[in-house]
Amino acid sequence: MWYAKMYFSEGREIFQYDSLGMQGVPDVQKEFPFLESLLAFQELDCAEVTPILQSITDNWSRFIAEDDRDALENFKRKLGRLASIHIYFRLLYVHCRYRQSAMYIQNDRGSAEDAQILDELHQLPEQLPRYQQQIQRFFELVLNVDSAGREPQAQAAKNYTYDMPKDPGLFCFHPIPLSFEPVEPGRCSPVLYSSSIRDMIDYSLRSCVERNITVRRCKNCGRWFPQTGRVSAEYCERPVPKGQQRCRDIGALKQWTLRQANNDAFKAYRKEYKRRFAWIKAGRITDQQFYDWSERARAEKDKCEQGLISQKELEVWLKESK
Ligand SMILES: [Zn+2]
């Protein structure tokens, strides 16, 4: 049988898909930082995905009803494209690919399983935006540190009666197919054998609550990010296209620059530093003299920042020191 596994390990999430029914040898393995798949799902443009899904449904329907080979080719191509848009869609891809090969062996095109696949495909254009809204609501009421606070456990308990949400717009939890097995050398973990996109969303959300992980909108890019480290973090560490800087690094630099710009002691130090640096070129002092001075000057600046000497005293020192 084919399978689609998903599990968490430390700060990562791992997806394994076996479309060939190889049992234990997945043909796709992908790793992301924790919660990246769910957050990317939240940013999915349903207007882009819906026409692809409709065409896939159409083609599958034609293929199982009429054995239309062109429809099958179309179906495969579009499904491959969908799988490249988001990792969740690879589930459909893997299931359908397995079903196609099983169909030729069993000679049972149009079986109940084919009808079930068709039914699931039919429902997705409606379900996907609804899941996005329910996740959004779950963020607001349970996970968002700025609106719901730092205790997802307490917020989740408050918002559900058994597994039913009190707010009709909130995500509904269901039993999900979880197993438990070795996932890495020396380590066992719960593993989701997902049969639907819904299961993967469910598992991601409940894992945040269980692991006490809150989310926040990044101060730089405005996207959601999980607070897997410090709860005071304001900038995300989410993956960015190659060659771009991550928000956490941009944020650190911004804050440092801001702090320094507001810092009179630093300004005075920098002014004198620049002046004396020019002296090297003019031959008035040597490199070594300059570096010795700048080291002592930095120490004086630190003293000023800590309030041990006044701004005036620092400025006098900078001017008169040798
Ligand atoms: Zn960001």
* Interval 130-178: pLDDT, tens: 999 999 999 999 999 999 999 999 999 999 999 999 999 999 999 999 9
> Alpha-carbon torsion 259, 261, 262, 267, what sign?
positive
* Ligand 1 centroid – CA 51 distance (Å): 30
* Interval 215-274: pLDDT, tens: 999 998 999 999 998 888 999 999 888 888 899 888 877 777 777 666 888 889 989 999
* Ligand 1 centroid – CA 204 distance (Å): 20
Residue at token pair 């400025």: 315
* Ligand 1 centroid – CA 202 distance (Å): 24
pLDDT of 138 reads 98
- How far apart are the C-alpha atoms of 8 and 35, rounded to whole Å? 9
Domain segments of the chain as ranges: 3-208, 263-320
Cβ neighbours, 10 Å, residue 259: 10
- How far apart are the C-alpha atoms of 115 and 57, rounded to whole Å? 11
pTM for the full predicted model? 0.80
Instruction: Report whether 175 contacts 159 (CB < 8 A).
Output: no
* Ligand 1 centroid – CA 32 distance (Å): 16
* Ligand 1 centroid – CA 33 distance (Å): 14
